[in-house]
Amino acid sequence: MCVTAEPASIQKTRTYVHATKLDGVPVHVCGYQNKARTLAGGNCMFLNYAGTNLRLVRGPERTRTFMDDMTFRLPELVRVPSAGSMFDFAFGSRAELVVEDFGDYTVILAQGPDDILSVLDQVPDHRRPGRTKRLEEMIGFYMSWSPEDSFVLACFDSEVEPRHPIVVSYEPRNADVLTIPGLDGHDGKVPLPGAPVFRDFKVAFGVQGMDNLPIQVGYGDYGVQGQPWAPNCVTGFVDNRPDGPNGDYVVPVWAVEQGLGGSVLAGMML
C-alpha cells in the first residue's frame, strides 16, 4: 500500500483513517504500518493524503500493539481456508516542510510533491534515497496524478518492522469521504493506477462519535483507549484480492456511519 522509489519487499501492511475535528475543523487522522526491506540501499515509501496542513500525530509512536488491535478482526474480501504510561496527545507543529527521525524511518512531510527534493539532503546518508532519474520520474508522476495531495516520504534502509504506525492528520479537501493511500508499487517503477494488482492490506475506517460500528476495538497499550487518534470502533476489510484495482481506498463517510464492511464497503469505493 505504498510506492517505493527503489525495489523493496513490503509486507504486513495495516492502515486506518478516522474522521474527527480539531478546534471545530474537520480533520482526518490516517495511520500506516508495514514491514519493509529495501533491495537497493537507501529507499523511501511515498504516501499521499487528500488534504492540506499535514502534521505528525504524537502518541501513537509509543504504542506497541495499536494497529494489530484495530485490524485483527477485519473480514477478508476473499475467503482463504486457513492451513505502561498514559499518552500525551498532540498534533505536530504546522510547517510547510518537516524532516525528522520517526522510529525506524526518517520522514519528510511535504505539502506537495514538488517540495520533496528541496529537503532530501536533510535525510541521513544511510536512509536517503538517491537523487536518481527514477526518483525524479516518481515525483513527476505524483505531480500529474495527485498534485493537490500532501505527502509523507518515509525513508529507510536495511529491514524495518516497527511496532507502531506513522500517524498523520490533515484537513481533507472533501470531509464527506475517507481516503487511505493505497496506490501500490514496489519495483521502483511508476505505478499504473487502475491496473489489476495483488492486494494484501488490512484497511480500517472510523468516525468520531460513532460507537456502534461492527468492530469494537480493545487496545492492549495502556492509555490508548479514548485518544482522539484511536477510534473506539471501526469497520473495514482485509483486501486480499489477487487482482484488485491499483489505487487509493476512498469511501463515503455515510457508508462507514451505516456500518457497512467487507465486500459491501469495498464495493462502495469511489
- Please determine, for residue 91, whether its predicted confidence score (pLDDT) is greater than 70: no
Q: What is the pLDDT of residues 235-254, one digit of tens each?
A: 999 999 999 999 999 999 99
Model confidence, pTM: 0.91
Structural domain boundaries enclosing 149: 3-80+89-266
> Could you give the CA distance from residue 236 to residue 74 in angstroms, rounded to a whole number?
6
Match 537523487 to its residue by C-alpha cell.
131
* Cell reading at 263: 465486500
In the chain, the amino acid numbered 209 is: G
Of 31 and 91, the one with more pLDDT: 31
Q: How far is CA 66 from CA 3, 60, 72, 225, in A?
A: 23, 8, 10, 10
Match 487502475 to its residue by C-alpha cell.
194
Q: How many domains does the chain have?
A: 1
Note the pLDDT of residue 78. Answer: 92
Q: What is the pLDDT of residues 137-181, one digit of tens each?
A: 999 999 999 999 999 999 999 889 888 999 999 999 999 999 999
Note the pLDDT of residue 202. Answer: 97
- Please determine, for residue 88, whether its predicted confidence score (pLDDT) is greater than 70: no
Q: How confident is the model at residue 224 (pLDDT cuts 50, 70, 90)?
A: very high
- Please determine, for residue 1, whether its predicted confidence score (pLDDT) is greater than 80: no
Note the pLDDT of residue 84. Answer: 41
Least confident of 22-31, 74-83, 217-226: 74-83
